[in-house]
Chains A and B, each alone.
Chain A
């Protein structure tokens, strides 16, 4: 059962990621592919006992960030066609090379005997566990991420304000 679900949702994730690339000219379809991709990844997270991460994936990425994308697409009324994907051969070449390199590296990394799954702590992945780890072991990283987000907010306010003034 778990294996079937794994293959279904990883296949869906890959297909929707490809759909995202194919639909460059149709922005709404591209955004929807992104949603399907995010949701499939959330299912994979939940199957890996990272339930909290999976739910946050749905809530933050699928539920908020892509909604924001759609909001912008609709506000600018990008009904396909006028969304530029101009031919940039150098970028295409570089991007292709990076993608191929990453795939080869990943394949070599995965091409080795896999260890059986370790037994995990029933506490693992619960909200309480993640909170404890965040506020003890990874305190610095957590705070730095917070400051980074604050900087993002301030930057957004400044950009928006310049436009209003």
Chain B
């Protein structure tokens, strides 16, 4: 890619991340209201325009920026100042490897709907996410507060524990698709799999029989790896430290945990980081398990081919790109809704329950999944030859 293209795409995609930040606070308030049979935030207004509560993020921002920024006595001033940024920046840069669509060629130039198409795409997100842990861990320590300290210890233990099962649970996917590149995984998920293909192997039907081809399933991660999908979701929710995994914050036990000594926009950055991470989690889940930008039974080549007959190849590519982005974001929005459902339904786990779930349930299951997946891959290779 040329430098100018890189700059433009980085700019565009970071705007997407930043636009999500205030809107997510609105989504969270409105959805909690919906679930608790309330109307939700709708009081803030500009000249009588309430815009169904969409003014609230603006008032939040004004409040955050104008509040006094308290730095406690005995705090490590440097660490206290940079920790909110260490917590929020990794969440934003994670968007770099998320593919919003495939690559499209129109009028001689080609566009790829991903900022950095890395060979180790998923690992990049894990690596960046592990850096985010420092923001939370050091925040509690830097404030010179014992509650904060307890919060940091909980963050450190929780994030380390769940990083392991998060990484291992998706290994099965890598084995099936044979790549860690998120765009390749997206392309692979457009294919379908003949569920009854094995009957030809045993000679129960001749190749090409219609009823054998009748049942085809899309090669989505959710269908091939249903258990790891839930393990991954649980682990990555625990990484994000939102309810029900919010023991590091634990208002009722340790006041506010690791960000107890923060006020104003520095406090706001921690919340913003968590909310952006909700979007990152949804995008990653959609890209890995829910087929990315693909529509089941409708591969992208078919879409472009069909549209080309109507509008010509250039316009068809542009339209396919628009469809892809919409499909992807529809999945992302559904997953955000699902995460908010979890957040407002389940009570907080006790701390020992969090540790038990991570080490004694999720980790053994995800390791067993690797063995079973490997066995099935060999079996399928044996049958289909």
Residues on A lying within 8 angstroms of B by beta carbon are 28, 32, 35, 39, 51-52, 55-56, 58-59, 62-64, 67-68, 70-71, 74-75, 77, 126-128
Contacts and interface: CB of A to CB of B under 8 A. Distances in A.
Interface stretch (B46-54, B116-124, B337-345, B363-371): B116-124
> By DSSP majority rule, is chain A's interface helix, strand, loop, or mixed?
helix
B126 interface: yes
B137 A70 contact: yes
Given A64-B160, A67-B159, A71-B160, A55 B127 contact: yes
Contacts of B178: 128
A59 B160 contact: no
B156 A70 contact: yes
Contact of A67 (B79, B123, B134): B134
A86 B319 CA distance: 71
Nearest to A71: B156
B335 interface: no
B163 to A, nearest CB: 7
A67 B137 CA distance: 8
Interface in B100-123: 118-120, 123
Interface residues of B, number: 29
A70 B133 CA distance: 11
B153 interface: yes
Contact of A74 (B118, B126, B153): B153
Nearest to A69: B156
Contacts of B123: 52, 55-56, 59, 127
Contact of B153 (A52, A56, A75, A127): A75
Contacts, number: 75
B149 A63 contact: no
A59 B126 contact: yes
Contacts of B141: 28, 70, 74
Contacts of A126: 119-120
A58 B93 CA distance: 15
Residue of B76, B124, B134, B152 with most partner-chain A CB within 10 A? B134
Which 10 pairs across A and B sit closest by C-beta, in order of nearness? Answer: A63-B130, A71-B156, A58-B127, A59-B127, A126-B119, A55-B123, A55-B127, A55-B120, A127-B180, A74-B153
Contacts of B79: 32
A35 to B, nearest CB: 7
Interface string B150-185: 001100110110010000000000000011100000
B131 interface: yes
A68 B159 CA distance: 10
A51 B133 contact: no
A158 B159 CA distance: 24
19 contacts: A28-B76, A28-B138, A28-B141, A51-B118, A52-B119, A55-B124, A55-B127, A56-B127, A58-B127, A58-B128, A59-B126, A63-B133, A67-B130, A67-B133, A74-B153, A74-B156, A127-B120, A127-B123, A128-B179
A110 B361 CA distance: 52
A58 B131 contact: yes
Interface in B128-151: 128-131, 133-134, 137-138, 141, 149
A71 B163 contact: no
A39 B153 CA distance: 23
A75 B157 CA distance: 11
A52 B138 CA distance: 27
B126 to A, nearest CB: 6
A77 B149 contact: yes
Residue of B131, B149, B152 with most partner-chain A CB within 10 A? B131
Nearest to B140: A74
B6 to A, nearest CB: 13
Contacts of A74: 137, 141, 149, 152-153, 156
B118 A63 contact: no
A63 B156 contact: no
Residue of B79, B141, B156 with most partner-chain A CB within 10 A? B156
Contacts of B124: 55
A64 B152 contact: no
Contacts of A70: 134, 137-138, 141, 156
